[in-house]
Structure 1
Amino acid sequence: MKLCTTVQEMRQERAQLGRVGFVPTMGFLHEGHLSLVRRAREETDAVVVSLFVNPIQFGSADDLANYPRALERDIALLRREGVACVFTPEAAEFYPEGFATQVDVGGVALELEGPSRPGHFAGVATVLAKFFNIIQPQRAYFGQKDAQQCAVVQRFVRDLNIPVDIVTLPTWREADGLAGSSRNSRLTEAERHRAPVLHQALCRGRTLVQAGERRRAVLEGAMRDVLVQAGLVDIDYVTIVNPDTFQAEEEVREGALALLAVQLGAVRLIDNMPLF
């Protein structure tokens, strides 16, 4: 497995590879990340994984500083998974002095996480545009847990005619339903015990839909009640949207997606679930 830390090294290594599957990560890998790596390995000639905590997608210096990191452990995991190359650039390498360009996505990026995390999606789209340009993968792999991010990536790749297929895999969950996330490691023991209620709230919404309920307000209220009854009251949003636009519609239709974002202690958790 080759380790690359500069753009020049990555480009030189890319020239030796065939059909590439790319898995972008910020490190502190969990089983969800590894499931993406395994799919990429099945479908392409070589897998490239990035381990890069992207500073321009964070809204606060504290959040950036507290993001968990375990570079040596991550590299060992990826070596065991048969990854061809790991790209670990420094921030100064990716964003040198004078860097002044960003990819600003409209439409789907303006909803939900857009106003909650100003600048986040521009940071995500910019770093991915750089990765896609440098690595030139045929396919790139993402988890459905970050559903809106997946929609944003699909949008800018389509709009800018970037020749990469975006592959989205189902959310990987712990046995108790908690969606896999590197930030879960920052939960206290008591918070970790409460965290699966996010999944329970989503399941409540899907159960009601399966029973015939289609009124968005009723479904959102039922999901919110599950959170509140468990003591999670710092709720950013609980909503149901059209997955193509991420805008809410009064009548819940086939393909609708339920999403929620909740602050649990020092950690902001997000999750989602298709309702049909």
Structure 2
Amino acid sequence: MGATINSYYSNQPVFLDYNAQMAGTTVTDAVSLQYTPNQADCTGWSLKVRANGNFISGSNSVLPQYFALRFNRVASGSPTAAQIGVTNNSIALAYSDVALIDQSNAGFTPYAGTEHKFDMIISGGNHLLVPNGTYIASLTFTLYNQNNEVVSTKIQDVSFQINSSSNSYTMVLQNSANVVDLVFNTLDNYQSGVSVTKTRGLKITGYSGYQVIIKTSGSNLENNAVTIPVAAVNVETTKVTATKGAVINTYVRALSSADQIIINNPVSHPTHQVTEYTLRYYTAPNDSRLTGKSGTFNTRVLFIAIPL
């Protein structure tokens, strides 16, 4: 089999705000694969792809598991999609080969070029809450013959861009507020509840009105297979910085993996541009969700500023 493959990438997606980051996107005809069969017929060929690493921008990265490719169409040449027997299922990227087309039912037409279009599907979610930048990953496409022998390979960079308005604000967890330990080591801790306060733990710098959303990375605090609902922990925010003009509202929330507004700063008054907040994490007395649990239970708490 003397066929070779080439590729190109187009239609780089751009995520402009929090809602877009949570929704994800599908990029139609993002990747094009071109086959030059030369004299080969190539019945039984397969096309596979692997990610050579994460999507990277500077020191920040996103795992490839949140990205998938999906066969869209035969843009030119033959055989047809029906003759190949290809499906339109999305195939998640991985660090090892995954099959985009597995053992075609039909070969190429010798000396005639063929082009296939693949959509790229980007799953929305917390993994896209990363600093602004262009995130690039290298993919290796490999053409195999019917004996699963490598015939041709092509390395192709693919990318997406984060240019989110949420990143126009600077949020800092300070005064050790990046780690919160609620310790239960006496009976009174369970009966009375536990409270941890991080004074001036959150500092926000912004030049327009904003809301702050709080959410957790999952619905449970986890210790291997044992879990505690995150709602067993409450968070209270209190504004510390003296401000003028419109009131900045702060709230108490039981933790949840769903979006909840915990701060609402409606105006861009100069005294609101740098504002510090105290964070208090606490549990309720005699909470049955904590009974009989032992060990260290963890979750991630996310604070996201979005413009009003």
State the TM-score, normalized to the length of structure 2: 0.26
State the TM-score, normalized to the length of structure 1: 0.28
Q: Which has the higher strand share?
A: 2
User: If you compute each CA radius of gyration, which structure gives the higher value, 1 or 2?
Assistant: 2
